[in-house]
Amino acid sequence: MKFINLFGSILKLLMYVTLTIRNKQNDLMKWLKKNTYYYIVINNSSVKSL
């Protein structure tokens, strides 16, 4: 019985960690996209001004 409880706890922990990592990854991707966009815009405007 104890073994099953332990297994369940590990499973829950794994799911929690996976979800947390996935959320962080999404935030990171949004952040990267936003900053890459600004970077490209800034580069384009500096190229045009030359």
Cα–Cα dist 23/21, whole Å:
5
Q: Domain boundaries in the chain?
A: 1-50
Residue 13: predicted pLDDT: 93
Cα–Cα dist 50/39, whole Å:
17
pLDDT digits (tens, 9 = 90+) for 1-50: 688 888 889 999 999 999 998 889 888 888 888 888 888 887 777 666 55
Region for residue 7 given its phi and psi (left: phi exceeds 0; alpha: psi -120 to 50; beta: otherwise): alpha
The size of the chain, in residues, is: 50
Instruction: Give pTM, 2 decimals.
Output: 0.47
